[in-house]
Each structure stands twice: as structure tokens, then as C-alpha cells.
Amino acid sequence: MEMEPRIEVIRREPHVDIDRNERRDLVFRSVARRPLTARLAVQLVTLAVVIFIGWQFAVWVGHLEQGRIAGTRPPGVEGFLPISALISLRHLLVTGDFSRIHPAGLMIFSLAMLSGLLLKKAFCSWLCPIGTASEWLARTSHRVFGRRIKLPRWLDYTLMSLKYLLLGYFIFAVFIQMSPTQLAHFIDSPYNKVADIMMLHFFQHISTVALTVIGALVVLSFLVPYFWCRFLCPYGALLGILSWLSPLKIRRDTDYCTDCTGCAAVCPSFIAVDRKLTVNSPECTGCLECVHHCPVGPALEVRTIGRWRRTVRPAVFAAAVVLLFYGGIGMAKLTGHWRTAITDREFLQRVQEIDDPKYYHARGEVPDYGPED
Ligand code: SF4
Ligand code: SF4
């Protein structure tokens, strides 16, 4: 006896015509849904790791400031130095030399970029702590207002261009303006060597202006979901561009799709997934919420492109994200590409003299760093 295919059981009335306003209401007035459990778990674990790293780093710096070496400097803190990592990456491409000043920063940046190439912008929706915070703000906003808020298209597109302008500025400054000598001097500069400690000081002694800007971004991210990620983050912009090359795509099968709009209603990037055959948008974060919430199994799947099209189940996608990122970090540790070459003794000496002008950063200009005395 032939088994009835599972899809026949859950198949709905296909291609129900709904007018524009009804679709808009379905998409924007939907209730906030529970995220994919695997993604939530990866987000929570990563957030816990980041908080632990921050605490461990603050304790270690605190000891240095009191003139003693105690505790451990967590290399993962270098993940918050993306500009330094971009400079180290270009230095690596130009000279073949893997900088040992912030090797963990370079590894984290490279793994994030690799994840963009292979797994879309999964870094944003599965790993990035700012992405996680933005998502929770967006979900709270959805619950409070009972709808998802989206700016008018002209304003949305205009603001979205800002992150590409910022990215363009950094790429221009690092890849065009800086000579190989300037790259090397920046990497070995006193400022770069203690950039992570400077960053900690920035937050420990935060100015009123900086606090106001951060507060404004939090409020804006509550009122306009993903304000920072969608409009201002150059890291995400770069990942979005790389994600175009990803061999994985969200594909909708019109033979099974019932046009229920459920996928569009949960897409945090406001992509009209229910109208596309393939999602190619650089705004797609690979969160898989659309796939997870599609009521008709094969109507929406992650598939590989090319001749051998394969469906990639969310569990496999989750495993790939974890393996690539945390596996990559494990490999970096095993191969000696994780810990800085700067000794604790050198850090101790630098922390004592950190107010010296040689640690100042030439803001807004490509600095002409000479070698240290
Ligand atoms: S299209 Fe799907 S995977 Fe991409 S961001 Fe939207 S909900 Fe997430
Ligand atoms: S969730 Fe999207 S892909 Fe799935 S049936 Fe509804 S409209 Fe079609």
C-alpha cells in the first residue's frame, strides 16, 4: 500500500487572493511569535559568554590599574575591535603576516565574514549580542504596540543607505587611503595595543554625550525595530553584501504555498517572503523564522543553489553556525592564532602611562603612526 505524502495532510487552500490592505494588516498586526528554539539557545549562550568576557576583562584591567598582574585577559574581548581587525585583515592580505597584536579580533572578524559568505547574515541573528538586544527590543515593541512599526519606504531606504556609506568610508580609509607602512604602524601603535582597555575606559567613564547617544539608539530601536542594525551598522552592511554570494537561499515553492503571509509577518527584516521565489535581499539575516513559522512544510525551505539542490533543515543550519564560529575559535586556539603576543607585564606598564598623548587617537583622519620610541 502506498503511503500518503505528509504534505497532503497539512496543505491549505492555495493561492487565496487577498487585497493589499488585508495583506498589510496580516503582516504588520501579527502577534509576536516565539523564536526558533535553537537560535534562541545559541543567542543566549553567546550573550552569556560575552557578558562573562566583559566581566573577566574589567577585573583584569582593574588589577593592572592597581599595579598588579592578576586574573586573565580574555582574548575574546578583541571581538569588539572591528576596525583594528579590518586593518589587520588588510595587512594580512598585503603582507601575508598574521598580526599577533589582536589575533582573536582578526579571527572573530574573519569567521564572521566567512559565515556571511556561507551562511548568509547568520552572525547577526544567531551570534551578535547587539543583534540579540535589538531583537528583544523589537519583540517588546511589537507586544507593547500590538503591531510591527515600519518607516515609510522612502525614509526606510534613505536611512538604510547610511550603513553602506559608513562601510564605504571604512573600506576607503583602510583599503585605499592607508599605505602598507601605515597599516603596520597602526597595528604596532601604542593606541592599537591598548584599544580594548581604552574601550573599557570609554564605558566606565562614559560622557553625557555618549550616554545620550546610546540612550537615543535604545529608544529608537524600541520605536523603530532594529534601528541600529538596519540603518547604521557597517559590520552588518558588509555581511549583507557577502551574503549575496552565500550558496544557501530561502526558497518558496508556489506549488505548496498557500499565500497565508505568515512568513512575511515574522520576518524581522520586513522582507515580503510570501511574494518571492528566492530571498536574495542583503537584509535577510538567516534567522529562519520564516521557515520555522511556515505552516506548510516544503513551501518554504533553506536550499543550496546550483545543480545539486539540497534542503538544509534548520537543525543542520544551526549546527553549521555553531561549528563554523565556535569550531573556528577552537581551531584558532589550537593553532596558536588566538592569544596576543603582548605580555601582561607590557600591559601593566602601558596601563600606568595610558594618559600619555602617545595613546591618543587621531580622530577622523588616517593617522601617520610612526614606530614607537
Ligand atoms: S527572510 Fe526569513 S531568514 Fe531571512 S530575515 Fe526574513 S525571516 Fe529571517
Ligand atoms: S508562510 Fe509563506 S511560504 Fe509558507 S505558506 Fe504562508 S505565505 Fe507560503
pLDDT at site 210:
96
Site of grid cell 545539486: 308
Is 330 inside a domain boundary? yes
- The whole-angstrom separation of Cα 179 and Cα 94 is 10
300 lines ligand 2 (CB under 6 A): yes
User: Is ligand 1 within 6 A of the CB of residue 274?
Assistant: no
> Which has the closest alpha carbon to 100: 193, 195, 197?
193
Q: Is the CB of 263 under 6 A from ligand 2?
A: yes
Q: What is the pLDDT of residue 225?
A: 93
Residue 53 is assigned to a structural domain of this protein: yes
Q: Residue 7 — very low, low, confident or very high, per pLDDT cuts 50/70/90?
A: very low
State the CB neighbour count (10 A cutoff) for residue 298.
17
Residues 140-154 pLDDT 10s:
999 999 888 889 999
pLDDT of residue 12: 47
Q: How confident is the model at residue 366 (pLDDT cuts 50, 70, 90)?
A: very low
> Which of ligand 2's atoms lies nearest the C-alpha of 290?
1
Residue nearest to atom 4 of ligand 1 (CA): 284
Band (pLDDT 50/70/90 cuts) for residue 10 is very low
Whether the pLDDT of residue 8 is over 50: the answer is no
Q: Distance between CA 43 and CA 210 in Å, rounded? A: 27
Ligand 1, atom 7: closest residue by C-alpha: 267
- What pLDDT is attached to residue 13? 52
Phi, psi of 248 (to 5 degrees): -105, 135
| Residues 284, 107: Cα–Cα separation, whole Å | 24
Domain range enclosing 177: 37-243+316-354
- The residue among 141, 150, 152, 151 whose CA lies nearest residue 32 is 141
Q: Is the CB of 104 under 6 A from ligand 2?
A: no
Q: Is 30 close to ligand 2, i.e. is its CB under 6 Å away? A: no
- At residue 353, φ and ψ (nearest 5 deg) are -115, 20
- The residue count for the chain: 373
Query: Using CA positions, which residue lies closest to atom 5 of ligand 1?
Result: 284
Better-scored residue on pLDDT, 6 or 304: 304
| Mean pLDDT along residues 253-266 | 93
Answer for the pair 297, 6: CB distance below 8 angstroms, yes or no. Answer: yes
Count the neighbouring beta carbons within 10 Å of the beta carbon of residue 151: 17
Q: Which pLDDT belongs to residue 15?
A: 53
Is 188 a member of any domain?
A: yes
- Ligand 1 atom closest to Cα of residue 289: 7
User: Looking at residue 11, what is its pLDDT?
Assistant: 46
Distance CA 277, CA 358 (A): 55
Residue 100: inside a domain: yes
Residue 257 Cβ inside 6 Å of ligand 2? The answer reads yes
d(CA 373, CA 369): 12
- pLDDT (0 to 100) of residue 32: 73
pTM: 0.89
Residue 286: which of 303, 306, 265, 307 has the closest Cα?
303
Q: Considering the domain boundaries, does residue 152 fall inside one?
A: yes
CA angle 335, 341, 343 (to 5 degrees): 130
**pLDDT value, residue 355:** 85
How many separate domains does the chain show? 1
Give yes or no for residue 285 CB within 6 A of ligand 2. Answer: no
> At residue 352, does pLDDT exceed 80?
yes
* pLDDT confidence bin for 30, thresholds 50/70/90: confident
* Nearest alpha carbon to residue 144 among 31, 41, 53: 31
Average pLDDT of the segment spanning 85-103: 96
Q: Assess if residue 129 is contained within a domain.
A: yes
- DSSP category for residue 32: P
Indicate whether residue 267 lines ligand 2 (CB < 6 A). Answer: no
pLDDT for residue 123 is more than 80 = yes
* Each residue's pLDDT tens digit, 164-196: 999 999 999 999 999 999 999 999 999 999 999
Residue 194 maps to a domain: yes
Ligand minimally distant from the alpha carbon of residue 260: 2
Residue at 121 is within a domain: yes
Q: Which of 27, 296, 301, 303 should be mutated for ligand 2, with most atoms under 8 A from CB? A: 296
CA-nearest residue, atom 4 of ligand 2: 294
CA distance 373 to 371: 7
Say yes or no: CB of residue 285 within 6 Å of ligand 1.
Answer: yes
Q: What is the arithmetic mean of pLDDT over 128-147?
A: 94
The pLDDT tens digits of the residues spanning 188-229 come to 999 999 999 999 999 999 999 999 999 999 999 999 999 999
Residue 24 has pLDDT above 60, yes or no: yes
Whether residue 33 has pLDDT greater than 90: no
pLDDT band with cut points at 50, 70 and 90 for residue 98 = very high
Contact 132, 41 (CB under 8 A): no
Tens-place pLDDT, residues 71-82? 999 999 999 999
**Percentage of the chain modeled with pLDDT above 90:** 81
Q: What per-residue confidence (pLDDT) applies to 263?
A: 94
